[in-house]
Amino acid sequence: MPEKPEVITVSKTLEKIIIGKTIKDVDVYWDNIIIGNKNDFIKDLKGEKIDTITTRGKWIVIFLTTKALICHLRMEGKFFFRNPSVPKGKHDHVIITFTDDTDMRFNDVRKFGKMAVLPKHEVFKLKPLVDLGLEYNDKNLTPTYLVENLQKKKVPIKTALLDQSIITGIGNIYDDEILFASHIDPLRKANTISLEDADNIIKNTKLILDKAVTMGGTTIKSFTSAEGVHGLFQNELSVHGKKDGLCPLCGEPLVVTKVGGRGTYYCSKCQK
């Protein structure tokens, strides 16, 4: 389940491999991956050259000559690089072929991933990117900003941190880690978060996500930035998916439950 650190890792991998290449052809084998018209998507990409690559929230933003290609990995999306002579894999849904006779394949078992082509210079001002909140390392992400945005929320803080319109980039795994590090009960209503709590959350978010970025993300299940490339942060997880089920601070059994429909791990003794 790629979250910000995994998305950054994939973006860096793409930078190394595809910058400077020119798109010769595009094949779409599962239409629902594409936001908008499939034929326009293909037409808009052909002949464009890969310029720069960045991220916005969990979106990968690939700037081309006149367009921007945006990609969301959702649950299991990943990119493979092949030679066009290699037959399409079962879960390869979009294949972009370059003029140098290499290609890039969007592979997604669950077919939840999304791609779209938008005008280059307005890409951040258009849906879906325009709806995103602050990046976790944005200097404008202050305790005041966070508390203001949580004030009207009656959902659990765990759920509010997954709301991409407030802070963008946090997913289910890092959410649990951030709240554990902040000693905050994931079930607490978002509107009970104090400025001090918010300060804690922001600091821990930066610490955890920065460290995860350094370690190449978390490899759980199927995340890979390219074939054979795996992150290492899974070894650093304190609570989420922990095998022994014990709190690393107090040793008590962790609570495994659902919050807002998402699998949630926390320590009821250490998180208040």
Contact by Cβ (8 Å): 50, 20: yes
Binding mask 29-68 for DNA (x = CB under 7 A): -x-x------------------------xx----------
Which is closer to DNA, CB of 59 or CB of 79?
Answer: 59
SS3 content of the chain, % helix, strand, coil (to 5): 30, 25, 45
Q: How far apart are CA 67 and CA 122, in angstroms?
A: 9
Binding mask 151-190 for DNA (x = CB under 7 A): -xxxx---x--x-x------xxx-----------------
Q: Where are the beta strands (DSSP E) in the chain?
A: 23-28, 52-56, 59-63, 67-72, 78-82, 92-98, 103-107, 114-119, 134-135, 167-168, 255-259, 262-266
Which is closer to DNA, CB of 103 or CB of 108?
Answer: 108
Sole window of 14-22, 109-117, 138-146, 208-216 interacting with DNA (rule: CB under 7 A) = 109-117
Sole window of 8-16, 42-50, 61-69, 258-266 interacting with DNA (rule: CB under 7 A) = 258-266
Total residues interacting with DNA, rule: CB under 7 A: 31
Sole window of 118-126, 135-143, 209-217, 255-263 interacting with DNA (rule: CB under 7 A) = 255-263
Closest CA to 185 of 159, 152, 211: 159
- Among the listed residues 20, 87, 90, 250, the single contact to DNA using CB under 7 A: 90
Q: How far apart are CA 122 and CA 241, in angstroms?
A: 39
Closest CA to 126 of 167, 70, 171, 77: 70
Binding site for DNA (CB under 7 A): 1, 30, 32, 57-58, 72, 74-75, 90-91, 109-112, 128, 131, 152-155, 159, 162, 164, 171-173, 258, 260-263
